[in-house]
Amino acid sequence: MSHSPLSFVFGVLGNVASFVCFLAPLPTFYRVCKKKSTEGFQSIPYVAALFSAMLWIFYAYVKTGETLLITINSFGCVIETIYLAIFITYCPKKARMSTLRMIVLLNFGGFCTIVLLTHLLAKGVGRVKLLGWICVVFATSVFAAPLSIIRVVIRTKSVEFLPFPLSMLLLISAIMWLLYGISLKDIYVTLPNVVGLTFGVIQIVLYAMYRNNKPQKDEKLPEHKGEIENSENVAPTVTDENEEQEMNPHAGDIEIGEKKEEKKEGQQLEEKHEKTELNNKENINKKTEERERSEV
């Protein structure tokens, strides 16, 4: 398929922007390797990005002539696989199992199913259309993946987990691929990038709103959606001991006084016991002396 000079330029710029976007998480994973902990980061965006890249390669192969789509998504497959390998190495056991489950079900099972269905259900142009709409759905899900992060940013009013460079790169990439799709009149490339442009603008606006706010101490991004909901719904509990202290601030002093009294009573009992023993000894000694005298 021949490209116009304009679409080729947009495609090359899209490749460059996407290449930088794929490399953007490198500092994060360097920190993960250094600390040997994922620190609450999620694996869902990387699993979804890998699956989307695999689908776009297949779409470009079926459509033919889409070299610019194949180049960048091939690199995406390689780099996302490396990220997931690092994540699986250092994440908690629960997150590791859920990530492996997603990879097996989505990236292997899901992709193989799509390849078989597109071969069996459609031919020629119809096959390209079917595969194109599948790509639109999953590419849109990749752009929607930061929704959980956006939710955390709004809840905490902090941009600690919303890096500005990555948000800006994603916005630029979405613009370039949007223009590329429009220039080729390819609706399947255009539609997902409309969504990407929308979410990119939202992230930039949130960053502008909360960039001066101080990050909350010990605030970590939950690994699963359920943990976010639990953290919102579960109110902080107070132990019985703390409740007693709040209700009666002098309870500690009373307890200390009681302990001192118990100590005194114990000492008095010991003294009495020692005195009785001494008296018993004296009585025994007197009785033995009297016996000796009487015998004499």
The pair of structure tokens assigned to 124 is 């020629």
Binning the chain into helix, strand and coil, the percentages to the nearest 5 are: 80, 0, 20
AA identity, residue 229: E
DSSP 8-state code for residue 110: I
Percent of the chain clearing pLDDT 70 (strictly above): 73
Judged against a pLDDT cut of 50, whether residue 255 lies above it is answered with: no
Q: Cα(43)–Cα(87) distance, rounded to whole angstroms?
A: 7
Largest CA distance in the chain: 141
Tokens 């250092």 identify what position?
Answer: 90
Judged against a pLDDT cut of 70, whether residue 41 lies above it is answered with: yes
pLDDT of residue 240: 40
| Greatest mean pLDDT among 158-172, 205-219, 239-253, 267-281 | 158-172
The predicted model gives 39-58 an average pLDDT of: 86
3-state secondary structure of 107: helix
Q: What is the pLDDT of residues 195-251, one digit of tens each?
A: 889 888 888 888 888 887 765 554 444 444 433 333 334 334 333 444 344 444 444
pLDDT of residue 66: 86
Q: What is the pLDDT of residues 89-134, one digit of tens each?
A: 999 989 899 999 999 998 899 999 999 988 888 888 888 898 999 9
CB proximity list for 85: less than 8 A, separation 6 or greater:
none
| 248 alpha-carbon distance from chain centroid | 41
Q: Under a CB-based contact definition with an 8 Å cutoff, are residues 50 and 77 in contact? A: yes
CB proximity list for 218: less than 8 A, separation 6 or greater:
none
DSSP 21-66: HHHTTHHHHHHHHHHTS-TT--SHHHHHHHHHHHHHHHHHHHH---
pLDDT of residue 71: 94
Instruction: Tell me the pLDDT of the chain averaged across its residues.
Output: 77
Q: Under a CB-based contact definition with an 8 Å cutoff, are residues 68 and 12 in contact? A: yes
10: left (phi over 0), alpha (psi -120 to 50) or beta: alpha
